[in-house]
Amino acid sequence: MRVLLVAAIVLFAASSAVAATKSVTFYLDGTRVESSLSAPKGYLELPLPGNYIQGSFRVRHVGQGSVTRVEMSPASPDPRADREMKDLVERRRILEDRLKALEVRQEIFTSAAKSQSSKAPRKTKTNPHPLETIRKGTDYAVAQLEEVYRGRRKTEEGLRAIDARIAALKKEGGIGGSVARVWLSGKGGAVYSYLTNGAGWTPVYDFRLGGNGMVEVTVKAQLPRATRDKTSVVPSRMADAKAGFAPVPISGTLATVARYNMPVEREEALPVPQGGVKFTFRNTTGETLAAGAGACYMKGEYVGHVSFAGSSSGEAGELVAGSLGI
């Protein structure tokens, strides 16, 4: 009876260790995805997305055993997704050709409008009202330009929609992706991870001035999409990430990553009706702060949008908030 109880505890622990879980760590330029699966037959096929970074796949055994073999191969795309992709590529080529033709038409009618407006009015037998003729010619050229602009806008919107669908198909349909085939010895499962490039997190800043020679800087993470997976962020690009750095756990699509207090070296009120401020602060965090948009507050009052160019450790940066037109 005691032997059976111990065996049950071991099996429960092993199954718990490989229960399906997934976590995503967002960098500024991509992600690290980690997941776990049970492998009752000692074999797994793990799909990897089209933006998977070659060579970044890692896998380890969980339980009693080891990883004995790994093979990487291109994913076989869903036939329907493959057909749709080919159709999208052809439609994109058609829209690209249309955009080139519209650019030529734009040049032609822009030149025509300038030519009409620069003509000197000369009254002749065949042209008794030269000003009216010039006006009609200019109006026609401008009307054609309006058609061109509408056509360009619709074509560019169509290209963006196609590009978005192509990106979704690569993720959903296995197009451009890979498959990792993993063989395991012993019971249990595997934990695997890989890196992707592309959409990472975007810094959003709050700068709060209190009139005490310091500015409180709150760094928030804007995620590219909502996810139910366990989520964390690393405040750097993947190539610059420090070994052993612990990712910051977050929840939601806009969450606080860090908060700093830094010295203000110069502060100047702007002479605008609603009030504004220009100030210089020095990055004393010991870290590089990435570029991002944000907001500025003075003693709790919102005074405007700011655009932060980023700064390295020890560098001074200037921000302007509340200036009209910004």
CA angle 143, 148, 153 (to 5 degrees): 125
Same domain, 49 and 30: yes
Q: How far apart are CA 142 and CA 111, in angstroms?
A: 10
Check residue 13 and give its pLDDT. 40
Asked if the structure places residue 214 within a domain, the reply is: yes
The confidence band for 269, taking pLDDT boundaries of 50, 70 and 90, is confident
pLDDT in tens, 206-254: 999 988 999 999 999 988 877 777 888 888 888 877 766 778 888 777 7
Same domain, 168 and 180: no
- DSSP helix/strand/coil, 148: helix
Between 155 and 174, the higher pLDDT residue:
155
Between 45 and 15, the higher pLDDT residue:
45
Asked if the structure places residue 3 within a domain, the reply is: no
Asked if the structure places residue 11 within a domain, the reply is: no
Same domain, 68 and 105: no
250's tokens: 């977050």
Same domain, 25 and 68: yes
Average of pLDDT values for 1-13? 39
- DSSP helix/strand/coil, 35: strand
CATH code: domain of residue 68: 2.60.40
The percent of residues above 90 in pLDDT, for the chain, comes to 27
Reported residue count of the chain is: 326
Which pairing describes strands 301-308 and 292-298: parallel, antiparallel, or unpaired? antiparallel
The percent of residues above 70 in pLDDT, for the chain, comes to 83
Burial of 283 (0-12, 13-18, 19+ CB in 10 A): buried
Q: Is residue 182 within 8 Å of 44, Cβ to Cβ?
A: yes
Same domain, 269 and 125: no
Same domain, 213 and 297: yes
Check residue 176 and give its pLDDT. 60
Between 74 and 283, the higher pLDDT residue:
283
CATH code: domain of residue 136: 1.10.287
Q: Which of 12-21, 82-91, 220-229, 239-248 has the lowest mean pLDDT?
A: 12-21
Instruction: Spell 180-202 as b/e; 16+ CB within 10 A means b.
Output: bebebeebbbbbbbbbbeeebbb
Asked if the structure places residue 297 within a domain, the reply is: yes
Same domain, 229 and 188: no
Check residue 11 and give its pLDDT. 41
Burial of 63 (0-12, 13-18, 19+ CB in 10 A): buried
Alpha-carbon separation of residue 212 from 188, 237, 261, 300 (angstroms): 59, 33, 11, 13
Residue 325 pLDDT exceeds 60: no
- Residue 42 C-beta-side C-alpha neighbours within 13 Å: 11
pLDDT in tens, 128-140: 666 676 677 777 8
Between 253 and 31, the higher pLDDT residue:
31
Residue 6 pLDDT exceeds 50: no
pTM over 0.85: no
Check residue 16 and give its pLDDT. 39
Q: Which of 176-185, 200-209, 289-298 has the lowest mean pLDDT?
A: 176-185
Check residue 214 and give its pLDDT. 93
Residue 154 pLDDT exceeds 60: yes
Expressed as residue numbers, the domain containing 57 is 18-75+176-195
- Helix (H) or strand (E) holding 93, with range, is helix 79-118
112's tokens: 């025509």
Same domain, 101 and 185: no
Asked if the structure places residue 4 within a domain, the reply is: no
Same domain, 143 and 125: yes
- Structural domain total, the chain: 3
Same domain, 35 and 130: no
Check residue 260 and give its pLDDT. 94
Asked if the structure places residue 326 within a domain, the reply is: no
Asked if the structure places residue 12 within a domain, the reply is: no
Q: Is residue 62 within 8 Å of 188, Cβ to Cβ?
A: yes
Same domain, 54 and 84: no
Asked if the structure places residue 123 within a domain, the reply is: yes
Q: Is residue 18 within 8 Å of 190, Cβ to Cβ?
A: yes
Same domain, 180 and 208: no
